[in-house]
Structure 1
Amino acid sequence: MNMLKIVAVPMHKEGRKFVAIFAAVTLLLGLIWEPLFWLGVGATVWCYYFFRDPVRVIPQQDGLVISPADGVVSLIEEVTPAADLGLGDAPLTRVSVFMNVFNCHVNRAPVAGTVTNVVYHHGKFLNASLDKASEHNERNSVTIETGHGVRIGVVQIAGLVARRIVCFVKEGDTLGAGHRFGLIRFGSRLDIYLPLGVSPLVSVGQTAVAGETILADLLTPNLSRPGLPE
């Protein structure tokens, strides 16, 4: 195994200027007091890893919904989706993945398809693990329609520390499953809205890996979550 590939994880280009700022501040701190320099080195390394963009092995099976974010499944509940997603008024299953400041923050498309909607909302910066964050926090909503006409909603939600949601896609763009579509700087959450009648294949507390963890199977919608009776 190549240890260099483990240590030198690729960094997303969005992080370059932040790492440069951290490094410059570190040099200035070193001129003031040497212990501050080493604290700055630690902070710079953390910043580098915050913007890491590792290669992921994307499941190739048709019909899978995969996690758009690294983190912990914090909520699974039936809610009425926000109107800007264009998913109708019926309650849908929402799976929330909470990202702390140590998780990789590059967001990936949960399914392959066409972006039909992108809506950004200004808002508050409440703790992203709270249920009300979906409604009150700054957020960016993206709807993706698969080749079979199924629509999946995914919402980037800012958190206590996050102050910048970045979205790389626009309406009409075509995405492959697991393709990078955005990121959120410094702690946040993603909500995924599953189609009516589709059951999640993850449980609250489970760790999710962006582009790899399977959240649901659109072709076998009634499968049970792990650890739960059928």
Structure 2
Amino acid sequence: MTLHKEGRKILFFSLIIFIGIFFLFEYVLNTPQWVNDGILIILIVVYLLILQFFRNPKFIINKNDKHVLAPADGKVVVIENTEETEYFNEKRKQISIFMSPVNVHVNRSPISGVVKFCKYHAGKYLVAWHPKSSTENERTTIVVENGSGIEVLFRQIAGAMARRIKWYVNEGDVVEQGGEFGFIKFGSRVDIYLPLDAEVKVNIGDKTKGGRTVIAELKS
């Protein structure tokens, strides 16, 4: 287990602030020792919670051109056929994965291929499960075309807590299945849009592991 680069500054400055708070209570305010002990415990617990937000597990990725891997840890909250209006402008099979604050927040490419489209949208911060969050929240849209010419769209969506989306790819880049393409701080949601003939391998409520769980199989 390693720590993700997105957490380094937050963890460093959080540590400085927490140490400052502890010294304030311990040496300046002259509060009772039981209060100081309680403050210390609270600070340690909060810091450990922040620390776990930025964990980045290492594992072997089993690549398969037919498989679509989960782009994130989380829970499947949507499986439906819907109109995708930003890039395809036609019906697609949508799978949405909700990332809670306790999930790993690294986002991974569902397939290997070339990035055909990449766009960032500033927006609102509706709760991630809101029906309009996919089109109105802060988000990035990325489309990857595999070697067979099949395009898969995946979208990082910010939520009420998650207000920092990071992405590391641009149009023309080559990405590997399971490779890291971005990060959403403190949880949110990722939508995946697949061809209508893709065979979904998960159900509503299933837990996913980014880069490991097969969420669908491509037919062509």
Letter in 1 for 2:9: K
Aligned mates of 1:180, 1:22 — CA distance in 2: 25
The residue that corresponds to 1:31 in the other structure is 23
What is the SS of the residue equivalent to 2:17? helix
What is the SS of the residue equivalent to 1:111? coil
The residue that corresponds to 1:79 in the other structure is 82
1:163 positional shift: 0.9
Measured against aligned partners, the alpha-carbon deviations of 1:87-131 in whole angstroms (never above 9, x if no partner) come to 2x2211110000011100000000000111111111111110222
1:23 positional shift: 0.7
Aligned mates of 2:202, 2:115 — CA distance in 1: 25
1:218 positional shift: 0.8
Structure 1 residues 37, 26: closer, same or farther in 2, change over 3 A?
A: farther
The residue that corresponds to 2:13 in the other structure is 21
Pairing 1:57–2:60 present = yes
1:204 positional shift: 0.5
For 1:161-176, list aligned pairs within 5 A: 161-176=161-176
What is the SS of the residue equivalent to 2:72? coil
Letter in 2 for 1:199: E
- Relative to its length, the structure with more strand (as a share) is 2
Question: What is the total number of aligned residue pairs between the two structures?
Answer: 209
Match of 1:10 among 2, 27, 30: 2
Using the TM superposition, name which of 58-67 and 119-128 deviates more.
58-67
C-alpha RMSD over aligned residues: 1.2
Q: Is the 8 A contact 1:25 1:40 kept in 2?
A: no
The residue that corresponds to 2:191 in the other structure is 191
What is the SS of the residue equivalent to 2:200? coil
Q: Which consecutive segments of 4 or more residues in structure 1 shift more than 3 A?
A: none
Name the larger-Rg structure. Answer: 2
What is the SS of the residue equivalent to 2:189? strand
The residue that corresponds to 1:178 in the other structure is 178
What is the SS of the residue equivalent to 2:84? coil
For 1:81-230, list aligned pairs within 5 A: 81-83=84-86, 86-87=87-88, 89-219=89-219
Gaps of 5+ in 2: 26-35
Q: Is the 8 A contact 1:127 1:133 kept in 2?
A: yes
Letter in 2 for 1:45: L
Measured against aligned partners, the alpha-carbon deviations of 1:121-162 in whole angstroms (never above 9, x if no partner) come to 111111102222111111100000001110000000001101
Aligned mates of 2:52, 2:198 — CA distance in 1: 35
Letter in 1 for 2:18: T
Q: Is the 8 A contact 2:197 2:218 kept in 1?
A: no
What is the SS of the residue equivalent to 2:120? strand
Gaps of 5+ in 1: 1-8, 222-230
